[in-house]
A = this chain, B = another copy of it.
Amino acid sequence: MTEETNHRATGQFTGVVPLDLVAREGGLSVMQGILDGRLPGAAMAKTLNFWLTAVEEGRIVFSGTPTADHLNPLGTIHGGWAATIMDSALACAVMTLLAPGEGYTTVEFKLNLTRPIMPDRGELACEGRVVHRGKTIATSEAYLRDGAGKLLAHGTETCAIFPIGNLKR
């Protein structure tokens, strides 16, 4: 199954969501809109061949299959593939808890790569969950697993939350 097939099968597409729409709808509605194909998802997700598979309050799942385009020179999938799907799950889990008028940004994340990702691992799933939602800081954790449930990576992230219109850090 190719990337195109996957994205076409899900009905998801990529592009940019206007910030004022995020401000108006709030984070959960926007994430559900991306899942349903009403709003565009990340171009980066398409480039790395993963897509949204679940959205609820405080929880997100992305699924995807790394390809030959994502190899490092030693023949395994680049750690950056795991980092990108992990950051997506970690950040979007926080996004589901944003009220209308709130924006956010990733401050930091850390991940452990617990097993090498070989090109033939099949479709992988990355689940992100909010751990703490404060007024201006939120944290989340995520786990990347293969189809057999083997853990490939896990990590945590810190996001800063702010009123939209105040993007300066």
Contacts and interface: CB of A to CB of B under 8 A. Distances in A.
Interface of A: 14-17, 19, 22, 30, 34, 39-44, 46-48, 68-75, 77-81, 83-85, 87-88, 91, 103, 105-116, 131-132, 134-137, 139, 141, 151, 154-156, 158, 160, 162, 167-169
**How many copies of this kind of chain does the complex include?**
4
A35 to B, nearest CB: 12
**Residue of A19, A42, A73, A116 contacting most chain B CB atoms (<10 Å):** A73
Contacts of A139: 108, 112, 114, 154
Contacts of A107: 107, 112-113, 137, 158
19 contacts: A15-B73, A16-B75, A22-B74, A40-B73, A44-B69, A44-B81, A46-B69, A47-B69, A72-B88, A78-B84, A78-B87, A108-B158, A115-B169, A116-B167, A131-B154, A132-B154, A135-B169, A158-B158, A160-B160
